[in-house]
Structure 1
Amino acid sequence: MSFELASCLVTLFVLAGIGTPIGYSIILASLVYLGFAGLDLALAGEKILQGLYRSFILLAVPLFIVAANIMNAGTISDRLLQFCVAAVGRFRGGLGHVNVVASLIFSGMSGSAVADAAGIGKIIIQMMTKGGRYAPGYAAAITAASATIGPIIPPSIPMVLYALVSNSSIGALFLAGIVPGLIMGVVLMAMNYYISSKRGFALEEPVPLKQLPRHTANAFPALLMPVILLYGIYGGVTTPTEAAAVAALYALLLAGLFYRALSLRALYNIFVESARSSAAVGLVIGGALILNFVVVSENIPAMVANSLVGIDIHPLVFLLLVNLLILALGCVLDATTIILVIVPLFIPACRELDIDLVHFGVLVVVNSMIGLITPPYGILLFVINAVTGIPLKEIIGEIWAFLAVLIGALLLLILFPDLVLFLPRLLGYGG
């Protein structure tokens, strides 16, 4: 390792360790590298601008963020909840099942785990804890766990970022996330049923089946969004970026005109909040673009790929080791940093071992989402603590069972790639 790279890494870890936002940490560490390497510091700005101008796909990120915030602000979340309560609220652990199913449906609109947890998740926690039906820590834990499904089922902001660093098909990635997302939902509902039966949680009063068509009709326009997105991309009607614009426009028309639940003031606040969220993501992307230049300058991808030549390592062993590493990193790093900074190091090795990049991408995103609920960092745990006031200690105490079944689901996806690649191949993906 060169002195310049060592200085860069030390600066990065020190800044991140003292609490500097990761985007600033990466940028400053990269500037340290450029300085010690005798390169013009203005090269940092040049690399950011080149990366952004060449990546039309990045426009999808703020557009999906806008769509998610509009969905949260309107009455769309309430209508989806009423539908979920009518559909699965009658079973043991009913509101826990409602929590998971709502996340499955809402994930088809937001593409963001944080948006899911802070928006619809807060409403469900209030429903679950009302009258002492569920312990606050349990309600918060299952909400955090189910929110991890958000970026797995399309649309997915992390998958857009992974497509940027791997040159994979966004359409194939979106399709590949559907079955894993459903599997995650099933294992969470199974664990919820087991815990609810063991602790004797009260049954909810079932909604009469004759009311189910009415609740379905109320939620139906919102349920159409993922269908519109996938048809637009795979039907050749839109590019992924254009599909994100369609998603934002559809959410705006739905909340503003169809449901009439969006004022001009609320829309202004949505745009301001979306700009802030997009800027936060943009800082990390900008830092990653410079850091990737540093990595390429040090010839690290080629070194990783060359180190595998002649080594008899099975692709399955490689996947298990990489996922163990990402799982460990997920305890201290956010998903965006892992995907933009860490994952590109393994892309050449995947190609060398003939590992399908779409399969690898879905594993990375699922693993990164599990990291969002892994103590001690687990940003979703902090988000729910912030929006509900439920003590972090109670949430962490209840999260372990859900964390265990999600890791089990990840292992299943590693061992059986067809679970991930079935739908993309069915619609023409050649990987």
Structure 2
Amino acid sequence: MEWLVFVVLFGTFFIFLGLGVPISFAIGVSSLLTILLALPFDAAISVISQKMASGLDSFSLLAIPFFILAGNIMNQGGIAMRLIEFAKVLGGRLPGSLAHVNILANMMFGSISGSAVASAAAVGGTMAPLQRKEGYDPAYSAAVNITSCPTGLLIPPSNTFIVYSLISGGTSIGALFLGGYIPGIIMGVSLMIVAGILARKHNYPVSPKPTFQEVLKKTLQAIPSLGLIIVIIGGIIGGIFTATEASAIAVIYTLLLAVVFYREVKVSQLPKIILESVMTTSIVLLLIGASMGMSWAMANADIPYMISDALLAISDNPIVILLLINVILLVIGVFMDMTPALLIFTPIFLPIAMDLGMDPVHFGIMMTFNLCIGICTPPVGSALFVGCSVGNVKIDKVIKPLLPFYAVLVLALMLVTYLPEITLILPRVFLGYQ
């Protein structure tokens, strides 16, 4: 019976995905069909409706619409160009300097906007013409942009961590935010190493040395934008406000920055920005609600225990088990976007990881890092499609340049997986996390 439930749940889910059914509906219908194996129709409808409603009844979820709104205001507020100019100050003297500027700008803009796709479009759309003019191979430039745009999903504030906190049973959002910093920086630096090696190999140019006045000007212009991260994280660490309250502070800060300070957003544009944010929020929350129904269906059928037993039958060595989990997640990331993958597979793999003695914050960062790689890979990688679009490069042309970046990302993932202190040191120092 258990294996029948497993086949019905995941079989119908992937069949619906293959037919092009929206993922929220694919999750919801496959969950309902699974529950029908154990309960009559009326009871099954009642259960899945209750689970969807109760899954959205969480104060911490208020952070998602606020952070989405703050990110959309930032996207329209002229932030990208100022951060690119600041990134030129930081990485402008390295071999293939524009590639390093692209990576650094994606790290900063992605963390502020909270969206890899927005980062790929805003930063990549600006950098691609500059790199083409300097003689960079467009496929190389696109590969740099595609693989670096997800770094902001690890560097807070990040909606991904809020979703993980909910689905994992209340893991500290503050600890997740702090835990993402070093892995996010490792991800960016590892990409810069590969970009630098390839740039030296192809003799890409180095930008001219900026004057002190230029450095000062570009730094001062970028500080207000980067101040959002300082305000959010500083407030959480200092106990001034919670992560949910910080999201509302972020909206106020970005409004003042974009409307009053930079004057890039007009008051007349705000209704459109708010409407876009509402639409994005509704998609995310529908996905979360549907996933709560699937989580209940899996738990009711003991599917997490089945998978745990199957993995432990292969090996009881924690190193091997974590490697298997990472391989499975990398494969899943190729076919599924980050949020649904996080919602579906966290309840399956988190109990296994915790049985091995793994901290839930560490596992959340590992899982996010892993799925960040997935959004850069074909056939459904959202960052891949956007990066190729703004770089005006066909997907088949960018696959080969992407390979060395994929390799170094996997190596960095292994580093984060097997060295928990990389993730846990900042939460322990600043929050006393145990």
Separation of aligned partners in 2, 1:310 and 1:26: 29
Identity of aligned residues (%): 37
Does structure 1 residue 139 correspond to structure 2 residue 144? Answer: no
Separation of aligned partners in 2, 1:279 and 1:187: 35
Does structure 1 residue 313 correspond to structure 2 residue 316? Answer: yes
* Counterpart residue number, 1:13: 14
Does structure 1 residue 71 correspond to structure 2 residue 39? Answer: no
SS of aligned partner of 2:411 = helix
* Counterpart residue number, 2:50: 46
| Root-mean-square deviation (Å) | 2.0
367, 391, 395: which one aligns with 1:392: 395
* Counterpart residue number, 1:413: 416
Separation of aligned partners in 1, 2:290 and 2:388: 29
- The one-character-per-residue Cα deviations of 1:266-292 (angstroms, maximum 9, x if unpaired) are 322222222222222222212101101
249, 270, 273: which one aligns with 2:273: 270
- The one-character-per-residue Cα deviations of 1:29-57 (angstroms, maximum 9, x if unpaired) are 1222233431341332221111111x211
Does structure 1 residue 85 correspond to structure 2 residue 88? Answer: yes
- The one-character-per-residue Cα deviations of 1:332-386 (angstroms, maximum 9, x if unpaired) are 1111111100121122222222111111110000000011112232221112234
Gaps of 5+ in 2: none
Separation of aligned partners in 1, 2:320 and 2:283: 35
Separation of aligned partners in 2, 1:147 and 1:32: 37
- TM-score if structure 1 supplies the norm length? 0.94
Q: Mean Cα displacement is larger for which, 107-116 or 416-425?
A: 107-116
Q: 1:385 to 1:275 in 2, by over 3 A?
A: farther
Asked whether the 8 Å contact 2:312–2:321 carries over to 1, the reply is no
Asked whether the 8 Å contact 2:139–2:398 carries over to 1, the reply is yes
Asked whether the 8 Å contact 2:6–2:303 carries over to 1, the reply is no
Does structure 1 residue 279 correspond to structure 2 residue 282? Answer: yes
Separation of aligned partners in 1, 2:284 and 2:390: 21
- TM-score if structure 2 supplies the norm length? 0.93
Displacement over 6 Å in runs of 4+ = 306-312
Separation of aligned partners in 1, 2:103 and 2:128: 12
The residue type paired with residue 292 of structure 1 is: S
Asked whether the 8 Å contact 1:86–1:209 carries over to 2, the reply is no
* Counterpart residue number, 1:160: 162
Q: 1:276 to 1:204 in 2, by over 3 A?
A: same
Asked whether the 8 Å contact 2:330–2:374 carries over to 1, the reply is yes
Does structure 1 residue 104 correspond to structure 2 residue 107? Answer: yes
- The one-character-per-residue Cα deviations of 1:83-114 (angstroms, maximum 9, x if unpaired) are 11133223211111101111222233122211
The residue type paired with residue 314 of structure 1 is: N
Q: 1:223 to 1:399 in 2, by over 3 A?
A: same
Separation of aligned partners in 2, 1:193 and 1:417: 28
Q: Mean Cα displacement is larger for which, 292-301 or 168-177?
A: 292-301
The residue type paired with residue 10 of structure 1 is: G
- The one-character-per-residue Cα deviations of 1:264-319 (angstroms, maximum 9, x if unpaired) are 34322222222222222222212101101101211233555677889972322221
Q: 1:62 to 1:352 in 2, by over 3 A?
A: same
Separation of aligned partners in 1, 2:253 and 2:398: 35
Separation of aligned partners in 1, 2:135 and 2:5: 58
* Counterpart residue number, 2:32: 31
* Counterpart residue number, 2:295: 292
249, 253, 256: which one aligns with 2:252: 249
Separation of aligned partners in 2, 1:128 and 1:156: 29
Q: 1:123 to 1:180 in 2, by over 3 A?
A: same
Does structure 1 residue 381 correspond to structure 2 residue 408? Answer: no
Separation of aligned partners in 2, 1:82 and 1:239: 32
SS of aligned partner of 1:224 = helix
Separation of aligned partners in 2, 1:257 and 1:287: 40
The residue type paired with residue 220 of structure 1 is: I
Separation of aligned partners in 2, 1:311 and 1:189: 37
Q: 1:391 to 1:246 in 2, by over 3 A?
A: same
